């Protein structure tokens, strides 16, 4: 992919994800306010429960479709046809497993019905993901970007009608099903129109065997990620109650919604890491350091800001019944900087042939998170689940950064000084916001706090135009176009 296409794809997809996250967050607020805490718990549980099973259906095959399509366009049709064949068979097995497991767990009928509908959403999304995988392999994110936004608009529109007509919780889950149906046919249609690739099903034993061999590392990593990202809500549902899940889901949703910046940035730096690992260890070192700096620059003020303003914005937005979500939100948002920094660390490990080590780390965290939840939820409820997430990210960061030091010698002094300057600026911002929030609404204090942060950061020398230009150059320019200046 040319650097021009990389910038266009990244910019376009980032913009689409931004719009989608905003729409999704607004929709979640409307749903949470309209159905109440306990029903929000049931609703969130159903989505998290089926998400765990999605990893078995995809089995890392989408990553293979992306990679193999990028390497050789001619392979796209045969690989996709066999992946679809596998998923068609797997859909029957996985959906049956979902039904059996949810019934064995003894949940009430309404929860089981929500899971049944959410299960169909999972199946459709898995197929659409494979379609988009081919488009990604052909370096085309534009149509996926449109699909992401249109899908969310359909969910939002259908959901608002269902809420207005008070058609019930199960029908409300159907809004996601409607959006997924659209996404399925939309992706399949553009695959046929733009790339002349048909959505047909095949079972070629030789190709299927090869697919399983190639996909296994991705499948294992995906398994751990799914377990880690969804098991807390599932365990909270069994060890506590629907109200606890509802309150925790609000805190988790806010924290998760903010991660799209790191996700998009990681998608951008990964090709650069791959390129520099082969071409220049010096540029690899610079890019990693600048990536960590840039993500600290964004995540730390968000974390500090949410912590000091949570009590002012959460109840008015979600409703007074969600007052109990303030503390878990403050705990979860404390991990945001670690969440952000783990993205470039993971991307670096994968780019530098340390994907197995990265998978081991994810496995350790998945097991640790389950153990912590089993211990802390019975003691502290949803606050315990939040603490478990925070501890898990601390360990994930520590495991990753130790390996990074063995791959490349980056400027630790530069990052520590930058961290100190950014943190100081955040503390000044927080003090001002704490003082102002007693007089004004968060709508006013939040922008003022951001302004104070930026001014303080510039005054202490923690931010300059040069920093942004260097980051952009390291990410998007070819090696011979990047300055060889050793100063960060």
Q: What is the pLDDT of residues 218-261, one digit of tens each?
A: 778 777 877 777 788 888 988 888 899 999 999 998 888 888 77
Share of the chain above pLDDT 70, in %: 90
SS3 for 381?
Answer: coil
Q: Which of 68-72, 245-249, 451-455, 477-481 has the lowest mean pLDDT?
A: 477-481
CA atoms within 13 A on the CB side of 340: 26
Q: State how far the alpha carbon of 191 is from the alpha carbons of 59, 91, 152, 461, in Å.
A: 22, 21, 20, 49
3-state secondary structure 81-97: HHHHHHHHHHHHHHHHH
Q: State how far the alpha carbon of 21 is from the alpha carbons of 26, 33, 57, 256, 342, in Å.
A: 8, 18, 25, 10, 20
Q: What is the mean pLDDT of residues 63-68?
A: 73
Integer Cα distance of 27 and 33 in angstroms: 10
CA atoms within 13 A on the CB side of 246: 23
**How high is the pLDDT of residue 423?**
95
pLDDT beyond 90 at 136: no
Q: State how far the alpha carbon of 486 is from the alpha carbons of 138, 190, 281, 411, 435, in Å.
A: 35, 46, 12, 10, 42
Higher pLDDT, 272 or 102: 102
Task: Tell me the two tokens of residue 320.
Answer: 């007074």
H or E element in which residue 465 lies: helix 465-476
Integer Cα distance of 147 and 160 in angstroms: 20
Higher pLDDT, 182 or 483: 182
pTM, two decimals, is 0.80
**How high is the pLDDT of residue 471?**
55
Quote the DSSP letter at residue 480.
G
pLDDT beyond 90 at 348: no
The length of the chain in residues reads: 488
Q: In whole numbers, what is the pLDDT of the chain averaged over residues?
A: 85
Task: Tell me the two tokens of residue 488.
Answer: 């960060």
| Short-list 87, 93, 90, 105, CA closest to 46 | 105
Q: Where are the domains positioned within the chain?
A: 1-203, 228-488
Integer Cα distance of 67 and 71 in angstroms: 6
CA atoms within 13 A on the CB side of 408: 25
| Short-list 190, 186, 211, CA closest to 84 | 211
CB 347 within 8 Å of CB 266: yes
Task: Write the CB contacts of 398 (distance below 8 Å, at least 6 apart in sequence).
Answer: none
């Amino acid at each position: 992919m040319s650097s021009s296409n990389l910038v266009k794809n990244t910019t376009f997809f980032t913009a689409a994800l931004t719009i989608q996250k905003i729409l999704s967050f607004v929709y979640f607020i409307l749903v949470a306010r309209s159905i109440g805490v306990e029903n929000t718990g049931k609703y969130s549980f159903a989505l998290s429960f089926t998400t765990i099973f999605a990893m078995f259906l995809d089995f890392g095959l989408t990553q293979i479709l992306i990679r193999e399509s990028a390497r050789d366009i001619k392979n796209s049709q045969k690989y996709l046809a066999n992946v679809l064949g596998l998923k068609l068979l797997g859909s029957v097995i996985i959906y049956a497993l979902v039904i059996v497991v949810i019934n064995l767990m003894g949940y009430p009928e309404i929860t089981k019905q929500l899971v049944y509908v959410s299960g169909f959403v999972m199946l459709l999304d898995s197929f659409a993901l494979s379609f988009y995988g081919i488009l990604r392999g052909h370096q085309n994110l534009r149509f996926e970007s449109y699909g992401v936004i249109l899908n969310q608009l359909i969910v939002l529109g259908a959901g608002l009608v269902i809420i207005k007509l008070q058609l019930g919780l199960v029908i409300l889950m159907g809004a996601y099903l409607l959006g997924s149906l659209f996404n399925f046919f939309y992706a399949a249609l553009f695959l046929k129109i733009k790339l002349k690739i048909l959505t047909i099903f095949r079972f070629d034993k030789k190709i299927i065997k090869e697919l399983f061999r190639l996909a296994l590392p991705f499948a294992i990593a995906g398994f751990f990620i799914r377990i880690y990202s969804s098991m807390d809500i599932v365990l909270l549902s069994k060890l506590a109650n629907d109200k606890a899940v509802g309150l925790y889901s609000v805190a988790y949703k806010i924290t998760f919604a903010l991660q799209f910046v790191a996700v998009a940035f990681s998608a951008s730096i990964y090709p650069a890491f791959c390129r520099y690992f082969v071409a220049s260890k010096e540029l690899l070192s610079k890019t990693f350091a600048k990536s960590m700096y840039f993500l600290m620059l964004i995540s730390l003020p968000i974390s500090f800001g949410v912590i000091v303003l949570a009590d002012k914005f959460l109840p008015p937005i979600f409703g007074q019944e969600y007052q109990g979500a303030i503390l878990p939100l403050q705990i979860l948002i404390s991990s945001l900087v670690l969440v952000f920094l783990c993205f470039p660390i993971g991307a670096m490990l994968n780019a530098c042939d340390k994907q197995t080590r990265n998978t081991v780390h994810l496995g350790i965290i998945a097991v640790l998170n389950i153990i912590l939840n089993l211990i802390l939820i019975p003691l502290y409820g949803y606050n315990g689940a939040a603490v478990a997430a925070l501890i898990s990210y601390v360990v994930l960061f520590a495991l990753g950064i130790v390996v990074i030091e063995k791959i490349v010698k980056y400027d630790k002094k530069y990052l520590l000084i930058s961290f100190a300057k950014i943190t100081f600026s955040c503390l000044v911002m927080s003090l001002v916001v704490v003082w102002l929030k007693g007089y004004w609404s968060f709508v006013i204090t939040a922008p003022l706090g951001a302004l104070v942060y930026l001014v303080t950061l510039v005054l202490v020398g923690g931010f300059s135009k040069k920093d942004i230009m260097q980051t952009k150059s390291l990410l998007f320019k070819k090696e011979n176009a990047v300055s060889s200046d050793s100063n960060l």
